[in-house]
Amino acid sequence: MDRPVVVLVGGGDPHPSVADLLPADPFVIAADSGLHWAERLGLGVDLLVGDLDSADPIIVEHWEQKGATVERHPEVKDATDLELALDRAVAHGARRVAVVGGYGGDDRLDHFTANLGLLASPAYASTDLVAHMGPATVTVVRREVRLGGRPGELLSLVPFHGPVTGVTTTGLLYPLAGAELGPGSTRGVSNELADPVATITVTGGVLVAVSPGQDGTHVKRGLGPQGEQQ
């Protein structure tokens, strides 16, 4: 599918700026209560999936009447509603998917943690994935990505599901050149953009690049070695 896919998922309100970050004319999949964000973001709904235990039945009926397909699942199941929605996106042949929500709000750290691992899953290796989780933007890096932002903005690179090899960056205050980030490594945490655009490449493994939507202090204070991050 050449058309980009937007997946709406519950768990914390969307950030006010997220509508400006979404692709034009997307195929929209709502995961359960993610359905509630559609009108706020100016989106239609093409497909609704999940057990619908937290979606307002009136809103569900509204979108059914507008032509949305509803795929109901039992409450007792082996996958979260977000996983079901991502699986449907892959089944539709999506090459680009933007997720909105899924950071768990104030009280579901378990969902947030699971969702980060899910985004980095090998099941979605053929899809370019980005997630807008509250003020943060999460980008899955499997080969190369270019990320824009303002100099001084925080950016953390976190390895998932094993070691990540050949990590090379440009445009970051603390560059990496062919580095390996092992499981549990914090070496890539709290880097900062030095330029308006940063490039991140890897030769093996999966990185999750997290832009929390905040500025760091090193660029502002003129700190930072010229070589690799220490």
Give me the residue spans of the domains in the chain: 5-134, 144-211
Please give the pLDDT value at position 227. Answer: 45
Sort strands 47-50 and 27-31 into parallel, antiparallel or unpaired.
parallel
pTM (predicted TM-score): 0.94
Q: Which residues of the chain are under the pLDDT cut of 50?
A: 227-230
Please give the pLDDT value at position 180. Answer: 98
Please give the pLDDT value at position 130. Answer: 98
Same fold, 5-134 and 144-211: no
Residue whose token pair is 């709904």: 45
Please give the pLDDT value at position 187. Answer: 97
Fold type of domain 5-134 = Rossmann fold (3.40.50)
* Summary count for the chain: helices (H), strands (E): 3, 13
Q: Check: CATH 2.70.150.10 for 144-211? A: no
Identity at 115, one-letter amino acid code: N
Please give the pLDDT value at position 30. Answer: 98
Please give the pLDDT value at position 28. Answer: 98
